[in-house]
Amino acid sequence: MFNLFEKRVDLRIDLDTRCNFKCRYCDNSDLPISSKVSIPINEIVTLFQNAEKKCWSLFLSCAGEPLLNPQLEQILNSLSINVKTPDVSMVTNGLLLNQANRKIILDSSIDRIFVSMDSLSPEIYTSWCGVSTTQFQKVFDSIEAFAEERLLSKKPPHLIVTAIAMKDTLDGLPEIARWLKKIKASAFNIQWLNHMGHEDLKQQQLSLEDPLVLKKVKQVLEEVADILKGSGVLLDYPRTISKEKIWSVFQNSKLWRNRFYYFRDAVSKWTASRRHLPCRFVTNTYYLWPDGHLKGCPADAIETENIFNGNSSLEKEIVKVEQFFSKKDNTLDACRDCPINS
């Protein structure tokens, strides 16, 4: 463990920025083709060495599919050698969660695997993810196989299934809960749909200001909670200020090793939502682009150096971002004028 008074961040990077899905609610398809690459292992090793010094949490995926990286096994071997203290998570759509990749993950030091499953209805799933019914079944079977194999593993990573709550998927959330109870997953993570400015997605967003919609959402979430109660499957409520969400934060801390930082970031996110400040840096979460540049500001107001070319380091770039936001003329209040976050 490390000094709790030391500044630590939640770092996110794509092992591979390509994706084999075409989810309607994901902005990965907007990335230029040139940026969709597998990050070389030598750069990943550099990142891991930096992360050990500065991070409390490391996510090995943002918008891409990590299992597409052809050097996955070597990367996770390096992870086990170089990263000891941070919590490590991986997000996958599950399509490539085959027997070989399941073994690689189960043999690694990864703490949590997040797998997306928005609906158990093949029609709804394929419509939103841009895949075939055969691929849906492959994902479903792979999750079940992983759930079974992890229970036999000596040090299993936690299996967390994530679903996006929207008009098309709301009624199906209880069915997912029953399934997760059956396969003994670790947690069910429910997130609100983010429309990202797209009109078609706005039509699917659940308007919680509408009393009827709010009542329906509460009923569904209560049903999900009742299904999972006493099953050992934790429920991570969608982001909201409620006693249920606060309780789920405490419950889900069981899935994290660095709980001090987990709670600290939960409080930061709550503070950001209360102040209507969506900037990711309010919550100590940083994104590292495949070209080695730290995403220092949603509006790209901060120039950062490539940490992979030897001229800088992750620690130096994080300090640079922190210094920018600590300046008197760059206070968090001033960030309200950011064109990206307005």
- pLDDT bin (cut points 50, 70, 90) of residue 342 is very low
Residues 35 and 204 sit within 8 Å (Cβ to Cβ): no
Highest mean pLDDT among 140-149, 243-252, 296-305: 140-149
Residues 138 and 95 sit within 8 Å (Cβ to Cβ): yes
CATH code 3.20.20.70 for 9-337: yes
Q: Report the pLDDT value the prediction gives residue 266, as an integer from 0 to 100.
A: 84
- For 294, phi and psi rounded to 5 degrees? -75, 135
230-236 long-range contacts (CB < 8 A, ≥24 apart) are 231/181, 231/184, 232/184, 233/177, 233/180, 233/181, 233/184, 233/185, 233/186, 233/187, 233/188, 234/186, 234/187, 234/188, 235/177, 235/187, 235/188, 235/190, 236/160, 236/187, 236/188, 236/189, 236/190
CA-based end-to-end distance of the chain: 39
Using the predicted structure, report yes or no on whether residue 326 has a pLDDT greater than 80.
no
Distance CA 196, CA 18 (A): 20
**Token output for 333:** 């209040």
Distance CA 214, CA 224 (A): 15
**pLDDT tens figures, 68-101:** 999 999 999 999 999 999 999 999 999 999 999 9
**Token output for 89:** 């998570």
Residues 172 and 124 sit within 8 Å (Cβ to Cβ): yes
- pLDDT bin (cut points 50, 70, 90) of residue 32 is very low
Residues 57 and 87 sit within 8 Å (Cβ to Cβ): yes
Distance CA 150, CA 112 (A): 11
- pLDDT bin (cut points 50, 70, 90) of residue 44 is confident
Cα 229 to chain centroid distance, Å, stands at: 24
Q: Report the pLDDT value the prediction gives residue 269, as an integer from 0 to 100.
A: 72
Distance CA 55, CA 313 (A): 13
Among 181, 180, 176, 178, residue whose Cα is nearest residue 164: 176
Full-model pTM:
0.89
In the chain, domain spans: 9-337
Using the predicted structure, report yes or no on whether residue 309 has a pLDDT greater than 90.
no
Distance CA 140, CA 120 (A): 8
Q: Report the pLDDT value the prediction gives residue 146, as an integer from 0 to 100.
A: 98
DSSP H helices, the chain, are: 41-54, 72-82, 99-106, 122-129, 133-152, 173-183, 199-202, 211-228, 243-252, 259-274, 314-326
Highest mean pLDDT among 43-57, 162-176, 306-320: 162-176
HSE value, Cβ hemisphere, 13 Å, CA-based, for 304: 31
